[in-house]
């Protein structure tokens, strides 16, 4: 979002007051950004209590570090950066906590979409190949044709001599297996964090 000249001047004045310890200015900053922050945090954390705690921490850090504020820099970027760090910490904690990892992976469809997208990036492909190798031969072939070679179900059915329904069944079962596989993978939190934050926080 582009900040217009008068809005930028207004924010600079607001941040100058906040820097000097104005609690009214702090409340105004909170009013401007708390809903947007909460919306983005909810996309990632999926839990109102966790979002509430994260918001409290974000604005507590803002108040405690108010003297370091640069009024010439947009405060939104600063607040969202704190939010990113808090979410990253949550995912790192999830990698060491079975209950938290299970909680995040309960949102399998959305989470797996982000994981899969990240895995198709060149630097993560070996991780994907290792997982695909765990599939039964026919399912591995179907999944590779669909996801790696980007062929549609009709093309795959003609190549392998099976029905499109069978192709769909193989892809569905492969996805279910891979969701489970990556839910226990030690690198999962970093992959989710990097991918989701880039796509959801702005």
Looking at every residue in the chain, the average pLDDT score rounds to: 77
In terms of residue numbers, what domain contains 192? 99-200
| Cα separations in angstroms, 79 against 107, 163, 194 | 26, 52, 18
User: Tens digits of per-residue pLDDT, 80-97?
Assistant: 889 888 887 776 666 566
Domain C-terminal end among 63, 96, 129: 96
> Long-range contacts for 61-66 (Cβ within 8 Å, ≥24 apart)?
62/26, 62/29, 63/26, 66/18, 66/19, 66/21, 66/26
79 and 166 share one domain: no
92 and 107 share one domain: no
114 and 188 share one domain: yes
64 and 108 share one domain: no
39 and 62 share one domain: yes
123 and 185 share one domain: yes
Domain total of the chain: 2
| Cα separations in angstroms, 35 against 42, 57, 80 | 10, 15, 12
User: Tens digits of per-residue pLDDT, 94-147?
Assistant: 656 666 556 555 554 455 455 555 554 555 567 777 888 999 999 999 998 988
106 and 49 share one domain: no
User: Tens digits of per-residue pLDDT, 42-71?
Assistant: 877 777 888 898 999 999 999 999 999 999
92 and 124 share one domain: no
DSSP 11-80: HHHHHHHHHTT-HHHHHHHHHHHHHHHHHHHHHHH--HHHHHHHHHHHHHHHHHTGGG--TTS-HHHHHH
Residues 6 or more apart from 138 whose CB is under 8 A from it?
160, 170
Domain C-terminal end among 44, 62, 96: 96
The pLDDT of residue 4: 43
Domain C-terminal end among 35, 64, 96: 96
Of 39, 69, 75, 74, the residue nearest 54 (C-alpha): 39
Query: Which 3 state secondary structure label does DSSP give 87?
Result: helix
Q: What span, in angstroms and rounded, lies between the C-alpha atoms of 196 and 81? A: 14
Q: What percent of the chain has pLDDT over 90?
A: 35
Residues 6 or more apart from 66 whose CB is under 8 A from it?
18, 19, 21, 26
The pLDDT of residue 195: 44
84 and 105 share one domain: no
Length of the chain: 202
């Amino acid at each position: 979002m582009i900040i217009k000249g008068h809005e930028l001047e207004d924010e600079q004045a607001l941040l100058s007051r906040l820097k000097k310890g104005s609690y009214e200015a702090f409340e105004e900053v909170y009013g401007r950004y708390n809903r947007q922050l909460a919306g983005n945090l909810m996309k990632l954390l999926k839990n109102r209590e966790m979002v509430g705690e994260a918001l409290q921490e974000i604005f507590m850090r803002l108040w405690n570090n108010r003297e370091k504020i640069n009024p010439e820099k947009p405060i939104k970027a600063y607040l969202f950066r704190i939010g990113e760090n808090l979410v990253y910490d949550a995912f790192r904690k999830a990698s060491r906590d079975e209950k938290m990892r299970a909680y995040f992976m309960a949102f399998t469809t959305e989470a797996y979409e982000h994981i899969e997208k990240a895995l198709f990036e060149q630097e993560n492909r070996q991780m994907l190949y290792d997982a695909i190798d765990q599939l039964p031969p026919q399912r591995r072939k179907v999944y590779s044709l669909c996801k790696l070679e980007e062929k549609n179900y009709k093309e795959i059915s003609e190549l392998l001599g099976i029905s499109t329904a069978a192709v769909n069944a193989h892809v569905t079962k492969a996805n279910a297996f891979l969701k489970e596989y990556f839910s226990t993978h030690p690198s999962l939190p970093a992959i989710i964090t990097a991918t989701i934050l880039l796509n959801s926080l702005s």
